[in-house]
Chain A
Amino acid sequence: MCLQIVNNPLQLDCLERSPSSPAASSGSVSLGVFYGTRKEPPPPFRLSFPFRCLQRVDALAEMSVKAFELVPAVERDLLMGDKARINIECIECCGKHLYVGTNDCFIHHFLLDEVTSSKGKLSYSPQKLLHKYLGLKKPVAELRAASALERLIVLCDGIVFLVDMVTLETVPSAAGGGAKIRGVTSFCINENPVNGDPFCVEMGVLSSKRRTVQIFMVYEDRVQLVKEVTTPEQPCAVSLDGYFLCLALATQYMILNYNTGASQDLFPYNSDERRPIVKTIGREEFLLAAPGGLGMFANAEGVSQRAPVNWSESVIGAAVCFPYVVALDESFITIHSMLDQQLKQTLSFRDGHILQDFEGKVILASTKGVYVLVPLPLERQIQDLLASHRVEEALILTEGAQRNIPKDKFQILHKRILQQAGFIQFGQLQLVEAREHFRKGQLDVRELISLYPLLLPSSSSFTRCHPPLHEFADLNHLAQGDQEKVLRCKRFLISYLGEVRSTEVANGCREDVDTALLKLYAEQDHDSLLDLVASDNACLMADSVPWLEKYHKYFALGLLYHYNGQDSAALQLWIRVVDGDLQDSTRSDLYEYIVDFLCSCSNQDLVWKYADWALLKNPTLGIHIFTKRPVCKDHPQLNSDDVITYLGKHSQALLLYLEHLVLERKIQKEKFHTHLAVLYLERVLSLLSQSPTDEQQLSSARDRLQSLLRESNLYRAQSLLGKMENCEQLLLERATLHGKLEEHDKALHILVHKLRDFPSAEAFCIWASSCRDSAYQQQLFHMLLGVYLDSTSHPGKSRTSAEGGSGDLEMAAVDLLNRHGEVFDAARVLRMLPEGWSMQLLRPFLGRAVRASMHACRTSQIAVGLAHSENLQLLHDRLKERKKPIFVSEKKGCHLCHNTFSEPDVVCLPGGVPVHTHCVAQRGSGTAGLPTRIHNNSNNTDAIFPLTAQPAAAAESRAEQRARLLKQQRTASSSISQLVVTGRKPLLAPQSPMVQCV
């Protein structure tokens, strides 16, 4: 029940789809098996036509490639004249020799000469050499040449026999064996025999009765059976390649290895219904007629490696003429590409019944005439495809032909086709594909550039290649006035040139490429213009300059000048832009750019020439030319004195430059310092002289002056002082200068009396003594105190308001003492102070003084105590060292000189051996590690301590201890200055750092 139901839809479906089926199965044009054609089947094929002819005509119009031309070779009158009965049965062609077998048992021998007309059209002029009757009254069924043997192998009346190629005489059997095979239905020649004997031909033979294939060797005068293989069914067509027999049996095709007997079924085929076709088309690959009018490919393994081609049901013969499969049916020759399985060409051919390929030459025969299917030159086919814009097909055809063309030739061809394909796609604005093909085809980019008017430099030697790669005159022609298209093409060229300019494609035409790119960038206002002109490039000046000017790309032009070493031109141009003579908004900070440029410019002449302009424009930025010059070896430095001279007229810049030298680079030259100080001073003076003084400016100007005066030690203070001698507004500066000149009294006088600026006076004391010792500082402070007190004690001297003034000074003195008590010598101060001052007033000072003095005293006492105890310790140690007394008498001799002792002073050697002091001195003079003699205050014998090896660490800790002590003593030393510590470390024994109180 189920089956019934489901059968229906199938049938329905068949009906539904039937309109398209005839077209599909007719093997005609409409259905390339390949998807390429199926994507958009051209309109005529969607409809189905009742008449195939009509369809074909449409097909021709739609998709033909002219791959072949049918050229008559031998026409009727040469063969049979008007004898209507006589038909061609078989043909064989061997070089120029054409053999034709007829149904009246004749063999005709022709010589075919190719004639090429002046227009390049090919034709054949046949010349009949001979014809011969074979005497069997039966049609000549098959003819094959064995040219190495000079024999024709003939099948006639079921008999295979040999005929001389020249005389056409039947070869008589040799003594050793027969030259005839009987009962033969069909035979084939192995073009690719495994046995390599050149003087025999391997032949596969099918016989009428037995289910076998026989392999024969054909020699000059005999044939020899070498192998016989049985087949499952009666074979009716055979082809042989290597060991492989490809057979058409009654119901299927199969592959049979006659060497091993292995077989491989291919696919079923009813040989009774349709004549099978078995063709060897290459190494172990066969072309077979398959059901449904297919041309199937199969290899010896039984695998199909190419998609089938779609013939008609009634195909009679087929052959491969790479890359095409040519097939013949009753009325047409169809040509499919093996590369994409598409039908490429259809030729009308009536009464055709033979189609065979001989050494690559495809020959056809109708019953009455012989024709050659001449392939058009590959290039022409490709060009035809390209002419109809069938880019992909053209490329497939080209690439498919690779193995048939010598490598170098192929490469040239391939490149050219790729380039042409690229241009076609370019014309269609398929720019991605175009780029790919240009790249792969290594297009000379100038071909592309030359499409764009005016881009190639006028000096370029380029001429377009001939024949031309495309049909376009120029971009305007291509775009037909569509500005959008033009723009897209320009952008394309920009990106393409950008990509290739650094590759080898641009070799030899870098000028052209870079100049074109520059022009495009300028015209399109492209950001990369600056990168191009600023970096390594080959832009031609002659073309680039006017072009950049035209598009107002002056900044870029300047960069290009610079790249070409014409800095002066660049600067002139840029200056005109900054000055507004020329318009280019590329850089709003062009002025700064110029400054930077001059700053790093190694050509000093240029710097001197253009700095003036820059300084006039903006001294603060302009001075960077001099102040920001990079410091490195190969960059010539400018002489500072030259710069200063140069800057003479640019006062502001000069000041900045001097500041740079003095303050930043800290150059220690009196000249610069004085100059700067003078400039500062002048500035201050000029500000002072203005009627409403700008206080803010003035104070900043004074700050600068003051800080220079304070910090620098190099300027000529005297001369500066001279310049402001009578300027009452610059008292502080004057005080500073006096300070520099060590005229502290004058300075303090100004500060205290004229300025009444007590904090400054105090600060002055600290500043003026900052690098000096404490005594100096003390002296200064005392001086200040003196100044304060002086005027108090002599109130008459004070010019200013007596009553308030002296009080001020007193308070200043008190403050000074209270603030800086530690600096003063308290005893001296007490002596200086007026009697009447209250203790209360000076309490902080006095308190601190007493405490400090107390502290010092106690610290010193501690130090003394410590020193004493250490000394005691050492004495103790010493005693231990010399437990035994050492006796010295007049009778005892010195161990060194052997004289007796006359004085109590001796030196003790290790072991308590007494020797003369002078002897030791003599012996050890100049030697380190000498025993040291230490005098005691006592009259007793001097003691000397031998040096012994000592642990460094112990010595070190001792040394540290001593250092600490020493420090403590130092702090306390003001009052205990008598304490002296000796301790020459290397000379001391472990327990003997000596502290000696003198």
Chain B
Amino acid sequence: MPEGSKMKKPDVKVVLLGDMNVGKTSLLHRYTERKFKDTVSTVGGAFFLKQWGPYNISIWDTAGREQFHGLGSMYCRGASAVILTYDVTNWQSLAELEERFLSLTDTANQDCIYAIVGNKADLTDPKAQLSHDSIGVSEDQTQCEEEMTEPQILSACPTPPASPESLSGLILHKQVAHEDAVAFYGRILRYKGLEDKSSLPPEKMCFETSAKTGYNVDALFETLFDLVLPSILRKRNENQESPTVDLEVCRGAGGRRARSTCC
């Protein structure tokens, strides 16, 4: 049973956004359970509580299906970090991020951190094909090997035969270059009006990962957690500074009301 089932109050929220099938659920599985396994398209949303030092971080896995699109804003409300996920073998999935998902993040915190993640790197990048999970390597390797025999058949599915890159042979499926993601990151900053500030550089915030092999997955989550920590600390301090809030907190849910009434 995941830790998420215990009713701890999270200190901070991280949200995974992205089109269906890009591998959000798989990424979260890989990170929390160190495994790559069958998933079904997520219904609604789900979250996982991660203990990070003394803090509880809730990671929300959202549904990419159009049907649940409307819920995105709600999930993003008050988020400290948003992971915008696309599929490196699917150019449209990056386009969708800009067209559909970016606006959902309007409800996130002012100082929210954005990461652009191109998943399924194992399909395009040889160095992402090795198993990267330090824990349970043997178990995973067998799993991987089993699947390695198949990708020729499997991976043919997401990419249409007409793909221009398909002519170039080895990197058959790569549709989204890293530069595209970097450019998109720049547009996000512009959209958020953050470009002038000393915002986080794209090299640091654009990842290519593979939930299947574990490539870059820990790096992604851990970089983010380290970056959101200041946000947690500030939130804690705010709560300590205002005595009125403290009183409300004692009464339970009152704290929330106090804040929403004043705005």
Contact = CB atoms under 8 A, between A and B. Distances in A.
Interface of A: 2-3, 5-10, 12-13, 16-17, 20-21, 23-25, 27, 30-31, 33-36, 38-39, 41, 242-244, 252, 257, 259-260, 262, 264-269, 282-285, 290-292, 294, 296, 298-304, 307-310, 339-341, 392-393, 396, 399-400
A13 B163 contact: no
A25 B67 contact: yes
Given A303-B74, A396-B1, A33 B42 contact: yes
B242 to A, nearest CB: 17
B158 interface: yes
A13 B21 contact: yes
A290 B29 CA distance: 25
A35 B46 contact: yes
B46 to A, nearest CB: 5
Contact of B78 (A244, A296, A301): A301
Nearest to B252: A283
- The list of the 5 closest CB pairs from A to B, nearest first, reads A6-B92, A308-B44, A268-B70, A392-B1, A8-B160
Contacts of B70: 252, 267-269, 290-291
Contacts of B164: 5
14 contacts: A2-B91, A10-B19, A24-B43, A31-B43, A33-B44, A34-B46, A36-B2, A39-B37, A283-B253, A290-B71, A291-B67, A303-B77, A307-B46, A399-B6
Nearest to A21: B41
Interface stretch (B121-129, B139-147, B208-216, B254-262): B254-262
Interface string B236-263: 0000000000000000110011011101
Contacts of A21: 41
Interface in B127-171: 157-160, 162-164
Contacts of B41: 17, 20-21, 24
A302 B73 CA distance: 9
Interface of B: 1-2, 4-7, 19-21, 29, 32-33, 37-48, 63, 65, 67-68, 70-71, 73-75, 77-78, 89-92, 95, 107, 157-160, 162-164, 175, 252-253, 256-257, 259-261, 263
Instruction: Give the one of A12, A13, A399 with max B CB within 10 A.
Output: A13
Contacts of B32: 35
B89 to A, nearest CB: 8
A5 B5 contact: no
Nearest to A8: B160
Given A284-B256, A294-B44, A294-B68, A262 B74 contact: no
Given A5-B160, A267-B73, A291-B67, A284 B1 contact: no
B43 A33 contact: yes
B77 A302 contact: yes
Interface-central residue, A9, A10, A259, A268, by most chain B CB under 10 Å = A9
A849 B218 CA distance: 100
A301 B256 contact: yes
B256 A299 contact: yes
Best-surrounded residue of B19, B91, B256, B263 (most CB of chain A within 10 A): B256
Given A243-B261, A266-B74, A267-B73, 19 more contacts: A6-B91, A12-B157, A13-B20, A20-B40, A33-B43, A33-B46, A35-B4, A35-B29, A35-B46, A36-B2, A39-B37, A267-B70, A267-B74, A284-B256, A292-B43, A294-B44, A296-B74, A300-B256, A396-B6
Chain A binding surface SS class? mixed
Q: Which of B67, B74, B77 has the most CB of A within 10 A?
A: B74
Given A9-B160, A267-B73, A339-B7, A304 B45 contact: yes
Nearest to B90: A9
Contacts of B68: 290-292, 294
Nearest to B161: A8
Contacts of A30: 40
A262 B259 CA distance: 11
Contacts of A265: 73
Contacts of B90: 6, 9-10
A364 B5 CA distance: 29
A340 B6 CA distance: 8
Contacts of A7: 92
A378 B217 CA distance: 41
A31 B7 CA distance: 21
Given A6-B91, A21-B41, A291-B70, A12 B160 contact: yes
A25 B95 CA distance: 26
A9 B158 contact: yes
Contacts of B39: 38
A283 to B, nearest CB: 4
B97 to A, nearest CB: 13
A5 B43 contact: no
Nearest to A269: B70
Contact of A242 (B67, B162, B257): B257
A260 B262 CA distance: 8
Contacts of B7: 339, 399-400
B166 to A, nearest CB: 10
B43 A25 contact: yes
Nearest to A13: B21
Contacts of A296: 44, 71, 74
Contacts of B48: 35
Contact of B260 (A3, A266, A301, A393): A301
A404 to B, nearest CB: 13
Nearest to B73: A267
Nearest to B35: A39
